[in-house]
């Protein structure tokens, strides 16, 4: 029987979380990062000091505070200082350019922009450090505050126009997110991606809200992640398929030298997981320990599937486990037949208020249902299968092709680490498929070998016409790919006859 621990009741202000657990276990570590630890007592006291500084800057209910701090114990302090000041935390990438940051700050009009104490991050006027905010302030308790939104993440980079996705939930405890992710009490969660991505932020905070401990990686390293699982005694892991592929690319004797016995759940999301890769992970860690989640930052609805269930419905992302999901055809009619492709539309559960509000954009809606642009189909048992984003679809000679299918086939090749497929102009077929790949190194693999490998896996119209090898990362830390940016860069170095810039093509990943 699982032991039950004291935890705040549902609807408890997030601003009071550090104080609640500091009374019960003051010296217990709540967060680890880069060799530093943070206890509950330290979190409570330090966030009190910073919150007072934020209030002097104008932080209050209804305001946003932007945080340009990398994964660290300081970031956890900053987030709870926002809650205690009544503001909604907005975690942003410290690697943002001043131009990118300016567009976001113009939308959100934050009360403060906090950077790391070492001054790293964009050079932007008006930023302040945690130390500057906390200096001269006492660490005694503040009156409880409840921010209008418990988070204010940013999205829209693929369009070049950022938008803020303001959560529809106030900054109070809820059973929704922990239930989505299977985060239990006193979990020890290893977060492998930056918290400026929504899923890592959600899962790290869900762990903390339930009295657990998080280990935040500053950068992903395949073997280093396995070593940290064993060192930390992690019970819950966040991954994306790109990370899973890099781990499986390790020599088997290296990979199997780590026990991973403490883990009860490996969760992946954010990008399609090729079936072959998922099977390899199921064979390695066991079907009952591998989970997948599908949802958007908007959190209107979603699906989950465990490995053993997935084996019965291979390729599925599961059944709808919260909210409502339907498929609509191009005319807006609901698709009720199995195995017919349509666009995925969502709604929150009946009677629930809106789960988000955009700042800087309008949702894509039809008859009260909203869409993230994904295409998919349901099978006869009600399991959902995704094809790709409608915006990523490439039309070649009048045939609609979803890059994710081609990418999954490419990554079955043992020397292809990551693949991204885009459409480039072609005078004959309108578009041609162009594959950009990171390889595992070694002697490399030729275009002819790749074409032969794919010939048994894909129909002829889905085969890339051209290939390119690059050393730079193709996906970010959360597994996201910015296809429009990749395509725009290639349009400046490729003509429309199918030839490519061979200086770029010759670059092979190490």
DSSP letter, residue 318: B
Torsion angles phi and psi, residue 15, rounded to 5: -60, -25
* Alpha-helix runs per DSSP H in 109-197: 130-134, 176-181
Q: In the chain, helix, strand, coil percent, each to 5?
A: 30, 25, 45
DSSP label of 10: T
Please state the φ and ψ torsions of residue 46, each to the nearest 5 degrees: -65, -40
Inter-axis angle of helices 17-24 and 73-84, nearest 10:
120
Domain locations in the chain as residue ranges:
13-168, 393-505
**Along the 510 residues of the chain, how does pLDDT read in single tens digits?**
567 889 999 999 999 999 999 999 999 999 999 999 999 999 999 999 999 999 999 999 999 999 999 999 999 999 999 999 999 999 999 988 787 889 899 999 999 999 999 877 777 888 999 999 999 999 999 999 999 999 999 986 444 578 999 999 999 999 888 888 999 999 999 999 999 999 999 999 999 999 999 999 999 999 999 999 999 999 999 998 889 988 999 999 999 999 999 999 999 998 778 899 999 999 999 999 999 999 989 999 999 999 999 999 999 999 999 999 999 998 999 999 999 999 999 999 888 889 999 999 899 899 889 998 888 999 999 999 998 676 677 878 666 787 888 888 898 898 888 899 999 988 777 789 999 998 876 667 899 999 999 988 887 888 999 999 998 888 776 667 778 788 888 887 654 334 333 323 333 222
Residue for token pair 């929150």: 348
CATH number of 393-505: 3.30.300.30
The three-state secondary structure class of 137 is coil
Q: Are 82 and 57 within 8 A, CB to CB?
A: no
Which residues is 51 bridged to in the sheet?
A: none
Answer whether 84's CB lies under 8 Å from 76's CB: no
Helix (H) or strand (E) holding 103: helix 98-108
pTM: 0.83
Asked whether the beta carbons of 294 and 318 are under 8 A apart, the reply is yes
Q: For residue 373, how far is the Cα from the chain centroid? A: 17
Question: Given this structure, which CATH class describes domain 13-168?
Answer: alpha beta
3-state secondary structure 443-494: CCCCHHHHHHHHHCCCCHHHCCCEEEECCCCCCCCCCCCCHHHHHHHHHCCC
Contacts 24+ apart (CB under 8 A), 39-43: 43/18, 43/76, 43/77, 43/80
């Amino acid at each position: 029987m699982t032991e039950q621990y004291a935890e705040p009741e549902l609807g408890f202000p997030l601003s009071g979380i550090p104080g609640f657990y500091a009374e019960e276990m003051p010296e217990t570590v709540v967060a680890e990062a880069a060799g530093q630890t943070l206890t509950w007592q330290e979190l409570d006291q330090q966030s009190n000091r910073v919150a007072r500084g934020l209030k002097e800057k104008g932080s209050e209910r209804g305001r946003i505070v932007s945080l340009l701090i990398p994964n660290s114990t300081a970031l956890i302090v900053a987030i709870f200082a926002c809650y205690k000041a009544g503001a909604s935390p907005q975690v942003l990438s410290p690697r943002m350019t001043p131009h990118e940051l300016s567009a976001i700050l113009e939308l959100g009009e934050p009360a403060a922009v906090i950077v790391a104490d070492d001054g790293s991050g964009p050079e932007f006027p008006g930023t302040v450090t945690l130390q500057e905010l906390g200096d001269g302030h006492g660490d005694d308790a503040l009156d409880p505050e409840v921010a209008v939104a418990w988070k204010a993440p940013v999205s829209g980079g693929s369009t070049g126009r950022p938008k803020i996705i303001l959560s529809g939930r106030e900054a109070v405890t809820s059973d929704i997110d922990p239930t989505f992710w299977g985060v239990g009490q006193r979990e020890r969660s290893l977060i492998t991606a930056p918290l400026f991505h929504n899923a890592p932020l959600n899962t790290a905070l869900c762990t903390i809200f339930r009295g657990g401990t998080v280990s935040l990686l500053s950068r992903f390293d395949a073997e280093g992640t396995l070593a940290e699982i064993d060192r930390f005694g992690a019970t819950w892991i966040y991954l994306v398929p790109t990370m899973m592929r890099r781990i499986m690319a390790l020599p088997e004797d290296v990979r199997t030298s780590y026990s991973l016995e403490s883990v009860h759940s490996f969760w992946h999301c954010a990008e399609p997981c090729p079936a072959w890769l998922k099977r390899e992970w199921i064979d390695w860690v066991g079907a009952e320990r591998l989970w997948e989640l599908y949802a958007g930052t908007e959190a209107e609805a979603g699906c989950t599937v465990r490995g053993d269930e997935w084996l019965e419905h291979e390729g599925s992302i599961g059944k709808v486990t919260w909210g409502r999901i339907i498929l609509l055809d191009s005319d807006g009619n609901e698709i009720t037949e199995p195995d017919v492709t349509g666009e995925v539309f969502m709604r929150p559960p009946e009677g629930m208020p809106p789960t988000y509000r955009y700042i800087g954009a309008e949702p894509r809606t039809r008859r009260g249902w909203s869409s993230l642009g994904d295409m998919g189909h349901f099978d006869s048992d009600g399991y959902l299968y995704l094809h790709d984003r409608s915006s990523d679809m490439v039309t070649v000679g009048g045939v609609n092709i979803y890059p994710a299918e081609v990418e999954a086939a490419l990554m079955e090749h043992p020397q292809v680490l990551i693949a991204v497929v885009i459409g480039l102009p072609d005078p004959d077929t309108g578009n041609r498929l162009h594959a950009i790949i990171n390889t595992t190194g070694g002697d490399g693999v030729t275009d002819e070998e790749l074409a032969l490998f794919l010939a048994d896996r894909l129909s002829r119209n889905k085969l890339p016409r051209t290939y390119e090898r690059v050393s730079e990362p193709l996906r970010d830390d959360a597994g996201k790919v910015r296809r429009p940016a990749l395509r725009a860069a290639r349009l400046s170095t490729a003509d429309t006859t199918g030839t490519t810039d061979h200086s770029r093509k010759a670059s092979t990943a190490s």
